[in-house]
Amino acid sequence: MEEEGKMKSKKLSILFLCLTLASCMPTPPKPRQIQNSFQIEKPFDAVWQAVIEVFAELSLPIMNMEKASGLITTDWISFDSSKVYRYMDCGDQSALAFTQKTRRGKFNVFVKKNDDINCEMKINSIFETAVFYSGGVQTFPCVSKGALEAEVYKRVTEKIK
Whole-number pLDDT of residue 24: 55
Per-residue pLDDT tens digits for 6-57? 666 655 544 443 334 444 566 777 888 999 999 999 999 999 999 999 999 9
Question: Residue 34 is part of a domain; what is its CATH number?
Answer: 3.30.310
Whole-number pLDDT of residue 16: 43
Query: How many whole angstroms separate alpha carbon 128 and alpha carbon 58?
Result: 20
Q: Is residue 129 part of a domain?
A: yes
Per-residue pLDDT tens digits for 109-124? 999 999 999 999 999 9
Per-residue pLDDT tens digits for 55-78? 999 888 999 999 999 999 999 988
The residue that leads in pLDDT, 17 or 88, is 88
pTM above 0.75, yes or no: yes
Helix residue spans in 29-95 (DSSP H): 44-57, 81-87
Q: Report the sign of the C-alpha dihedral through residues 39, 43, 44, 49, in that order.
A: negative
Q: Is residue 16 part of a domain?
A: no
Whole-number pLDDT of residue 30: 81
Number of domains in the chain: 1
Q: Is residue 88 part of a domain?
A: yes
Q: Is residue 11 part of a domain?
A: no
SS3 state at 76: coil
Mean pLDDT of 143-161: 94
Whole-number pLDDT of residue 7: 60
3-state helix, strand, coil in the chain (%, to 5): 35, 35, 25
Contact predicate 129/69, CB 8 Å:
no
Count CB atoms within 10 A of the CB of residue 121: 23
Mean pLDDT of 94-110: 80
Q: Is residue 7 part of a domain?
A: no
Domain that holds residue 149: 27-159
Q: Is residue 100 part of a domain?
A: yes
Q: Is residue 126 part of a domain?
A: yes
Q: Is residue 96 part of a domain?
A: yes
